[in-house]
Amino acid sequence: MTSFLTHRARVHDARLPLRRRHNALRTCITLFAPYGFRATYHHLTLSAAIPRRLEADPDALVRAVEELHEARVLWLARAQEYAAWRRAEKRTGRRAVANPRPWWLRSWWEGQDRAWYEDPFRHPPLRLREYVRRQNAILDGADLPGCPACGDARPLEPISTGHGWVGLCRGCAWAPVPCPCGHRHRLVPQVPYGWNEIWQRAHMSDDGTPNPHRPAG
Ligand SMILES: [Zn+2]
Ligand SMILES: [Zn+2]
């Protein structure tokens, strides 16, 4: 728990070389990543406008870690509440995990958000705190319109799995139902990507806007 805050403080520390502050941001994302590690990083490069050359705007790293931190505070409050509730349930003899599982305990490979792990460009466009708020509200029983993950209300995008069809949210590639065979399959990214290029922000310009020569999915 302190680890996130320790690394967050490193991201803020202007005396450290930018490369180390960037690595500290990476550690923070390994500890909390609502969209999965790669998609969360990609999201933050856009929302915090992290330039391709970090020297062009060192504060971008601070904006990124603060967006992450804000969302984590909301998640942590809900997760602690949930843990207390689970302890009380166990004391009364109910050991089975509640159904549906809370959003942060779902496994990604069988999850409706599987695409975010396979194509880091396809994640909700929401600020992380809005995403967390939305997921917490759904967990508390709210019936929200549109895609559960991002609220997009457009018809689903049909994708062939080779032996059937699945529909993906056009806003974030959320898959409401698995393939007719019962499994969730790998999503082949529409734009082939190299993780190193995303990590080095090849999709960003020095002024923090998306690089027009590198479509970001
Ligand atoms: Zn969506
Ligand atoms: Zn299938």
Ligand 1 centroid–CA 85 distance in Å is: 29
Least distant ligand from the CA of 112: 1
The arithmetic mean of pLDDT across residues 186-201, rounded, is 85
Ligand 1 centroid–CA 149 distance in Å is: 5
Of the candidates 111, 130, 129, 102, which has an alpha carbon nearest to the alpha carbon of residue 173?
Answer: 111
Inside any domain, residue 212: no
Ligand 2 centroid–CA 102 distance in Å is: 25
The arithmetic mean of pLDDT across residues 9-38, rounded, is 97
Of the candidates 183, 182, 180, 158, which has an alpha carbon nearest to the alpha carbon of residue 169?
Answer: 158
Ligand 2 centroid–CA 186 distance in Å is: 10
Q: How many CB atoms lie within 10 A of CB 80?
A: 10
- Structural domain for 194, as ranges: 2-199
Inside any domain, residue 204: no
pLDDT-derived band at 157, boundaries 50, 70, 90: very high
Mean pLDDT of the chain: 92
DSSP of 93-124, one letter per residue?
T--SPPSSPPGGGS-STTSTTHHHHH-TT-S-
Q: Cα separation of 17 and 55, whole Å? A: 10
Provide the residue type at 43 as one letter. Answer: H
Q: What is the pLDDT of residue 2?
A: 61
Q: What is the pLDDT of residue 108?
A: 82
Inside any domain, residue 210: no
Tokens read off for 157: 């995008």
Inform me whether the pLDDT recorded for 99 exceeds 90: no
Given a contact cutoff of 8 angstroms between Cβ atoms, the answer to whether 124 and 47 are in contact is: no
In terms of C-beta density within 10 A (0-12 exposed, 13-18 middle, 19 or more buried), how is residue 27 classed?
middle
Least distant ligand from the CA of 162: 2
Of the candidates 71, 48, 42, which has an alpha carbon nearest to the alpha carbon of residue 60?
Answer: 48
Given a contact cutoff of 8 angstroms between Cβ atoms, the answer to whether 50 and 205 are in contact is: no
How many domains does the chain contain in total? Answer: 1
Inside any domain, residue 144: yes
Q: What is the pLDDT of residue 142?
A: 94
Q: What is the pLDDT of residue 215?
A: 60
Ligand 1 centroid–CA 169 distance in Å is: 5
Q: Which residue has the higher pLDDT, 213 or 153?
A: 153
Q: What is the pLDDT of residue 184?
A: 87
Inside any domain, residue 207: no
pLDDT-derived band at 186, boundaries 50, 70, 90: confident
Least distant ligand from the CA of 116: 1
pLDDT-derived band at 62, boundaries 50, 70, 90: very high
Q: What is the pLDDT of residue 216?
A: 53
Inform me whether the pLDDT recorded for 187 exceeds 90: no
Ligand 1 centroid–CA 174 distance in Å is: 5
Q: How many CB atoms lie within 10 A of CB 53?
A: 14
What is the tens place of the pLDDT at every residue in 195-206?
A: 999 999 999 999
Ligand 2 centroid–CA 194 distance in Å is: 26
Inform me whether the pLDDT recorded for 50 exceeds 70: yes
Q: Cα separation of 125 and 131, whole Å? A: 9
Ligand 1 centroid–CA 73 distance in Å is: 23
Ligand 2 centroid–CA 177 distance in Å is: 11
Least distant ligand from the CA of 156: 1
Percentage of residues in the chain having pLDDT higher than 70: 96
What is the tens place of the pLDDT at every residue in 63-83?
A: 999 999 999 999 999 999 999
Inside any domain, residue 217: no
Of the candidates 63, 57, 46, 65, which has an alpha carbon nearest to the alpha carbon of residue 7?
Answer: 65
pLDDT-derived band at 111, boundaries 50, 70, 90: confident
Given a contact cutoff of 8 angstroms between Cβ atoms, the answer to whether 154 and 172 are in contact is: no
Inform me whether the pLDDT recorded for 89 exceeds 90: no
Inside any domain, residue 209: no
Inside any domain, residue 211: no
The arithmetic mean of pLDDT across residues 189-196, rounded, is 81
